[in-house]
Structure 1
């Protein structure tokens, strides 16, 4: 194991290792580092900053990252505070690091996090193998169990992450998915570990953080574009989730370079 975190000894099963960790280093001390093994990182708390394809500049929604063997990066937590599960091992595809939005993969990873101490080695190994199956082409429907999430959940997640409509609502997502909002909330909680409202609010904060990282629009314009009621609402969200203000975030960080530099390195 080679992670910037501390915690219990962890578990081993079927060639995989499983660790529940707390970030243990100030953000500025985390240097570029490499991992020999393929691994998944499920962020349970904190604002995670990753160079993986599809990752937000700083996370405020459930984030699951796949890093292939030999990954070199500078992924870290904003402010050096966070909690995560690391699942190492297996022979995953040697592709670019990837941020997974697949609800099925999230459910598997959350299950590992929840049962890491009590689960049998067989169960841990089976779930880790299914995680790898989620990032590999499926040869048949047998890779999915009877508890696979409904197809509309993928559409709902995609709608939230592709829409730039500041008036987006949970009711609108439920309507597009063709389900009742209460049912949407239950399924979101089951597979993604949060309510659709929490997911939507988190994505709005992620969008605002990205716009602020670009350093172009005014704070009021960022708030409006990202779907906040006003600038004060945006400030409250930043204080609550990232322990800083939008203005402080913009002044103190050149967050866009984190991903741009890593992308240039991979090319």
Structure 2
């Protein structure tokens, strides 16, 4: 089985940034099929555009734009790419980086598919940071990474606890059926629990309010649609559940310090580096 060295992802790199103990690449995948392999270092894969099938020894994933995976080192897997433009964003971290910040990966086996909207928000901010790279970028990126690993640790701890039946179901509804989240009452009815109980208990399992979780999930979906370029900002605002484009633009700018249209322009493809 082939081991891929740092920065190897079977594609054409739009961009590569090396920060000594971690490497970031923006890559268009060029191989329809990649046989079993593993990577030298742990890394995040964030699918920016297109679709990808990935399987490891325990499970498989059908990934669409906006999907986020974290692979521990030596996590063996293989990939199949449909015949369409597919683009991934990778953050590869050396063991020295983890040692520097005293982060242990012992509790992470294989790969994790991460749905937490705050982790995704961090990765999108890292992606944006790479497009305006300056002398503060490394510090800003590492702060976002540290916050992400803190949230991953919390996710693993919470997952090991016994949870009520509604916890997994509410996530499915928020991510797959956002129309059921238009009011607390309708969501609670779908979960068959009291609205007050849902409001009070949600932060216990997700470390944030229900409203905040829904808001960031919508923002993340909006960013994915912005990067994919197929729809106008008005269409995106409506699709992700905002009242109007103005409300969407104001909230987006507040969270990313940039307008949606400027974000789209800044994150377009740049010159390829073939690998």
Aligned residues: 180
1-structure distance, mates of 2:183, 2:58: 24
Gapped regions of structure 2 (runs ≥ 5):
1-6, 99-103, 156-165, 189-197, 200-210, 225-235, 242-275
Contact 1:22 1:81 in 2 (8 A): yes
Give secondary structure in 2 for the equivalent of 1:121: helix
* Corresponding position: 1:130 with 2:141: no
Residue in structure 1 matched with residue 14 of structure 2 by the alignment: 8
Residue in structure 2 matched with residue 121 of structure 1 by the alignment: 138
Following superposition of structure 1 onto structure 2, how do residues 33-112 of structure 1 map, counting pairs within 5 Å?
A: 33-51=37-55, 57-60=61-64, 62-79=66-83, 81-89=85-93, 90-91=97-98, 93-94=105-106, 95-112=109-126
Contact 2:47 2:66 in 1 (8 A): yes
Taking only aligned residues, the RMSD between alpha carbons, in angstroms, comes to 4.1
Residue in structure 1 matched with residue 195 of structure 2 by the alignment: none
2-structure distance, mates of 1:86, 1:168: 32
Shift of the 184–86 alpha-carbon distance from structure 1 to 2, 3 Å rule, reads closer
- Further displaced range: 82-91 or 43-52: 43-52
Contact 1:87 1:128 in 2 (8 A): no
2-structure distance, mates of 1:84, 1:56: 18
Deviations 1:221-245 (A, max 9, x none): xxxxxxxxxxxxxxxxxxxxxxxxx
Give secondary structure in 2 for the equivalent of 1:132: helix
In the TM superposition, residue 157 of structure 1 has moved relative to its aligned partner by 8.4
TM-score, normalised by the number of residues in structure 1:
0.53
TM-score, normalised by the number of residues in structure 2:
0.52
Contact 1:14 1:125 in 2 (8 A): no
Deviations 1:45-76 (A, max 9, x none): 11121236998742336211010011211034
Residue in structure 2 matched with residue 146 of structure 1 by the alignment: none
Shift of the 134–198 alpha-carbon distance from structure 1 to 2, 3 Å rule, reads farther
Contact 2:119 2:148 in 1 (8 A): yes
In proportion to residue count, which structure has more strand? 2
